[in-house]
Amino acid sequence: MTQPTAKKVMAMLNSFVATADDKGKRLDVFLLEKFPEFSRSHIKTMMEKGKIKVNDAVTSKAGTTLKVGMKIDVEKLNVEPISTKPEDVKFDIVYQDSDLAVINKPQGLVVHPCASTRSGTLVNGLLFRIKDLSGINGSFRPGIVHRLDKDTSGLLVVAKNDFAHIKLAEQIKNKTCHRNYLAVLDGNLKDDTGRVETFIARDKKDRKKMSVQGSGRLAITDYWVRERFQRCCLVEFSLLTGRTHQIRVHAKYLGHPIIGDRIYGKEEKGLSGQLLHAYKLSFIHPRTNERVTFEVPLPDYFENYLKKQRKVL
């Protein structure tokens, strides 16, 4: 199925109402999520031209904090096109039927086109290999129910129709979709098991990062240590919420960032990104109402790192 490339438009009014999930977000962050073809500079230009309104009033404040019920109107200007054409992108399809597909995403693959990555994404690959995808998220994110960071590998589910998309999205919201990850943390956690429950929001000093703060969106992560080494430990994480960079932020909050995490920790020689892998995914199938569970092994680079740690025990 070929999806259209974003076209330049004269003017198109888009209206949104902030929900509980949007509470505490910056206005520009909200707009970047709604319009992946935008950049921050483009949003600034739109504000300068009076094309963005909050509660029917023109605004120039990109940092406006959203509250539940706020109305946001956007009159779209011409934008640079972002390709959503089919491309032969490498990834594994673990399972698929007429409603959904379960994907094993490799490290380094961006999920959908955005201002910084306009092609070669998982979405481009899905369009190349899968005939039908749900249209709820528009032409830039067809089928995408949830995401993984670029340098996080592992499982995610893709919807092939709107019925499946709605059902799967409800499970993520209601926490009946279970996602388990394996990560290698720098140093050793004090406790073998635990729960991290904090608020996470956009970092005040670095807008590209998230951080634990006194307010924001509630984030809950359970963890248990699988294996301990001299300088690190293998830890399993279970997400009870799905915040941006949640496991990476919580690992740093615990004082043990993920090995190879260049944003929340430090680079690791021989690694291209963080050792974080979504190895297990469980949800209720939207058509059969039966729970299905999928697991994938660790990538070779991840397993090789563990083997090296075991040799020095």
User: Closest Cα to residue 121, out of 84, 153, 96, 161?
Assistant: 84
Please tell me the predicted confidence (pLDDT) of residue 7: 41
Residue boundaries of the structural domains of the chain? 13-75, 180-278+302-311
Please tell me the predicted confidence (pLDDT) of residue 126: 94
Amino acid at 8: K
* Residues 241-247: contacts with CB under 8 Å, at least 24 apart: 241/175, 241/217, 242/146, 242/172, 242/179, 243/200, 243/210, 243/217, 243/219, 244/200, 244/210, 245/149, 245/200, 245/209, 245/210, 246/200, 246/210, 246/219, 246/221, 247/181, 247/183, 247/221, 247/276
Distance CA 178, CA 293 (A): 9
- Token digits for 9? 């438009």
pTM of the model: 0.76
End-to-end CA distance of the chain: 52
What's the Cα-to-Cα distance from 161 to each of 87, 121, 166, rounded to whole Å? 21, 20, 9
CATH number of the domain at 180-278+302-311, please? 3.30.2350.10
Distance CA 225, CA 268 (A): 21
Please tell me the predicted confidence (pLDDT) of residue 1: 43
Q: From the candidates 149, 151, 186, 261, which is the catalytic residue?
A: 149
Is 11 a residue whose pLDDT tops 80?
A: no
13-75 folds as 3.10.290
Task: Kindly report the backbone phi and psi dihedral angles of residue 161, in degrees, each rounded to the nearest multiple of 5, phi listed first.
Answer: -150, 165
Read off the pLDDT band of 268 (50, 70, 90).
Answer: very high
Please tell me the predicted confidence (pLDDT) of residue 5: 45
Region 281-307: mean pLDDT is: 97
The alpha carbon dihedral of 147, 153, 159, 164 has a sign of negative
Distance CA 152, CA 73 (A): 34
For the segment 206-254, what is each residue's pLDDT rounded down to a tens digit? 878 999 999 999 999 999 999 999 999 999 999 999 899 999 999 999 9
- Per the annotation, the verdict on 151 as an active-site residue is no
